[in-house]
Amino acid sequence: IGCGLFLLLFSLVRYKEQHPTGDVINTEGETVTLGCTFETTLSHTLFWYKQEVNDYPKYMLKSFSNKAENAPGFQKDRFDATINKTSVPLKIQKLQLSDSAVYYCALSLLQHERTE
C-alpha cells in the first residue's frame, strides 16, 4: 500500500446494531475516528478490539459512563473512546502502519432497566 495506512472497520454490536459501511483509508501521522453507533435504553459498556491479519482480536479499551480504560499497549494519548448516548467513536492519533487492522466494537449490556 506504499506509505499509506489502510484501516478496515467492522462493527459488532448487539441490540439494534447499526453497521458502518466501507473501509477507512488514511496516512501515517494523521488522526482517524472510527464510528460505532447503537440503540439501547439499558446500562452498557462498549469495548473496542483490534484484529491484525492472521491473529485473534485483541482487547484495546472499554468505555462506560463517560470514562475509558485502556489495555496495556494501547496508550491513552493515541487511542481514546468516549461513550455518549448512542455512539462511542474510537479516535486513533499519530497513525502508524502497525495500526492497519480490522477494528471491532462490542456492546455489553450490564443490567436491565425498565422502560415504560
What band does 22 get if pLDDT is binned at 50, 70 and 90? low
| Dist CA 91 CA 99 (whole Å) | 12
Sheet holding 67-70, edge to edge: 24-27, 4-9, 102-111, 43-51, 58-64, 67-70
Q: How confident is the model at residue 4, as a pLDDT?
A: 35
Task: Taking residues 42-59, report their average pLDDT.
Answer: 87
Asked if the model's pLDDT at residue 74 lies above 70, the reply is yes
Residue range of the domain that includes 80: 4-103
Distance, in Å, from the CA atom of 7 to the CA atom of 33, rounded to the nearest integer, reads 11
Asked, for residue 83, whether it belongs to a domain, the answer is: yes
Type and span of the H or E element at 32: strand 32-34
Whether residue 94 contacts residue 29, with contact meaning beta carbons closer than 8 Å, is answered with yes
C-alpha cell at 78: 493515541
Place of cell 479499551: 61
- Does some domain include residue 115? no
pLDDT in tens, 75-109: 999 999 887 778 888 999 998 888 988 888 888 87
Q: What mean pLDDT is predicted for residues 33-50?
A: 82
Residue 25 within any structural domain of the chain = yes
CATH number of the domain to which 25 belongs: 2.60.40.10
Looking at the domain assignment, is residue 52 inside a domain? yes
Mean pLDDT of 35-59: 85
| Residue 112: inside a domain | no
Domain count within the chain: 1
